[in-house]
Structure 1
Amino acid sequence: MDLQTIQQHPTFRQLASERTRLGVAMSIVMAAAYFTYILTIAFWPRLLGYPLCSGTVITWGVLVGVGLIALGFLLTAVYVRRANSRFDSLSQLLLEDLR
């Protein structure tokens, strides 16, 4: 079995396409959230400097920063779930077809 045969297989093309779309979409979401945070720090630092409530030293910037980290974990979990379900089943189907 050669590489060209695998690359032309419809299941392989579908698997590669779905993985690429999901990866690009998640990368765009994370990059947009991160750059929005950085641009807010650069141009409107007071906005993130406000305390969450009166009497606390924790600011909105800290909360949003923790939210960005949580978003990274969430996107990773979504990708792992998708990889362990859809992508694994497509990989298994591809292996069976190529035997």
Structure 2
Amino acid sequence: MPLSLSSEQTRKILSNPSFRELTAARARLRWGLSIVTLLMFFGFIGLISAASSALGKSMAGGAVPLGMSIALGMIAMVVALTGYYVRRSNTYFDGLTQLVRRECGR
């Protein structure tokens, strides 16, 4: 069941300093992680177009090509960034959310 708020309750929440801090912090983190992820992926695509022959060569005589190692590293980085977001959300953001609820009577 959706939660309906009066216009007065909505104004109270939107003007709450803790709510503003929560939304600003979430936006900064979301944009920061998105930019890092996009730079990684577009950087990799640029690397493929500029040095595709080097990416096909094996590293130090191993069986795994350099391009595959970089791709797996990027996947691991995205998983790590997701873990960081979840941890930050479960600690800092959840605390701010509870504070906003207490201050706004919800």
Query: Distance between the aligned counterparts of 2:94 and 2:52, measured in 1?
Result: 45
Please provide the CA RMSD for this pair. Answer: 1.0
Give TM-score, length-normalised by structure 1.
0.93
Correspondence for 1:58 among 64, 80, 99: 64
Query: Distance between the aligned counterparts of 2:104 and 2:18, measured in 1?
Result: 10
Deviating beyond 2 angstroms after TM superposition, the runs of 4 or more aligned structure 1 residues are none
Which ranges of structure 1 fall in alignment gaps of 5 or more residues? none
Paired residue total: 98
1:66 is matched by which residue type in structure 2?
Answer: L
Correspondence for 1:11 among 9, 12, 18: 18
Query: Distance between the aligned counterparts of 1:31 and 1:63, measured in 2?
Result: 18
Q: What is the CA deviation profile of residues 47-90 of structure 1, one whole-angstrom value per residue up to 9, with x for unaligned ones?
A: 21120122x33111000000111011000000000000000000
Correspondence for 1:86 among 88, 92, 97: 92
Percent of aligned positions with the same letter in both sequences? 33
Tell me if 1:73 matches 2:79.
yes
Query: Distance between the aligned counterparts of 2:9 and 2:104, measured in 1?
Result: 11
Greater relative contact order (Cα < 8 A, sep 6+): 2
Which ranges of structure 2 fall in alignment gaps of 5 or more residues? 1-7
